[in-house]
Amino acid sequence: MAQSATGGKPVRDVGALRRLLTRPELAAVAGSILVFAFFAVVAGDYGFLTTAGAASYLEVAAQLGIVAVPVALLMIAGEFDLSVGSMVGAAGMIIAISVSEYGLPLLVGVLLAFAVALVVGFLNGYLVIKTGLPSFIVTLGMLFALRGLTIGFARLLTGRTQIGLGDSGSGVMQTLFAGSIGDFPVSIIWWFALAVLGTYVLQRTVFGNWIFGAGGDANAARNVGVPVSRVKITLFMCTAASAALLATIQVLDAGSADVLRGTLLELQAIAAAVIGGVLLTGGYGSVIGALFGALIFGMVQQGIFFTGVSTDWFQVFVGVMLLIAVMFNNVIRRRAAEAR
């Protein structure tokens, strides 16, 4: 093995250490360890370290992480989707209205919700590509339009903004989307499965290279044959579909739908991705980082609950974490650039 000229330390080890220090998820992993250690000490005697405690913060993290994973991929491609929160509310109401008001089978209601979500995702991507407007503006408009349409149609068709499923949420669908393994809900499995799939796509496939290329320099990517438009539209459809998945889980778990479900979820998903090392400018980040970003959210929210402190402080912590993550990510990006 080659030796360095300054003391015989293996060059290979130095290279491995540098690669580790430039990983985008480093801050989120370290932050997760620190947050867990803090609440293990502060709230360990109040249930945080129990199996039920772990299930509670993992469930919170999973419900955010299911959306944060595709949101992170979209951000790496250089775009934002602010409509995912409204899509959760809309998809949930589609399921509930289809089943309770029109007597459709639950499976049909779920498929209809996913179909609408895919259309909305396609429309978001198409408008961004064809108009050249920032995705922030396009999807912000969709956020308001979709929320307004959901409330308007819910009142028009049912006269209510909250609708129950009755006994329609039983059976295989209930087990698949809202069942549990011991104390742990299946939403955690959905979260991990999406994270594994997203990591594989990003790190091991040509499409993953296209995502990085589209977010790094879209014009240069097009010049070497990357179908940038197709990549971005596909990712917009994925974020919308993930919102429909979360809506299905929530409706079957709660047995009802609410037009206001998903409020502020879009900002939390973006924050989880940023805490996980995804740059707001695109072209850099990882799915694993977004997973740990969501985990931090879950541990903090439930950790504060276990300590008995007012959960209002959760928002303060998230804001501070977001600022620290952005500053740390800037340092990591500079080190990554120097390492090339």
- CA atoms within 13 Å, Cβ hemisphere of 25: 16
Greatest Cα pair distance in the chain: 78
pLDDT of 3: 44
Spatial distance between the Cα atoms of 58 and 54, rounded to a whole number of angstroms: 6
- CA atoms within 13 Å, Cβ hemisphere of 246: 33
Which run of H or of E encompasses 209?
helix 206-216
pLDDT of 80: 95
- Tokens (6 digits) for 118: 């895919």
Please state the pTM of the whole predicted model: 0.90
- Tokens (6 digits) for 99: 């089943």
81 touches 239 (CB < 8 A)? yes
Architecture of the domain spanning 26-332: Orthogonal Bundle (1.10)
pLDDT in tens, the chain (340 residues): 444 444 444 444 445 656 666 677 888 888 889 889 989 998 888 889 999 999 999 999 999 999 999 999 999 999 999 999 999 999 999 999 999 989 899 999 999 999 999 999 999 999 999 999 999 999 999 999 999 999 999 999 998 989 988 766 568 888 889 888 988 999 999 999 999 999 999 999 999 999 999 999 999 999 999 999 999 999 999 999 999 999 999 999 999 999 999 999 999 999 999 988 898 888 989 999 999 999 999 999 899 888 887 777 777 877 887 777 777 766 766 665 565 5
Which run of H or of E encompasses 263?
none
Beta bridge partners of 287: none
279 touches 121 (CB < 8 A)? no
Spatial distance between the Cα atoms of 82 and 21, rounded to a whole number of angstroms: 31
- In the DSSP assignment, the letter for residue 46 is G
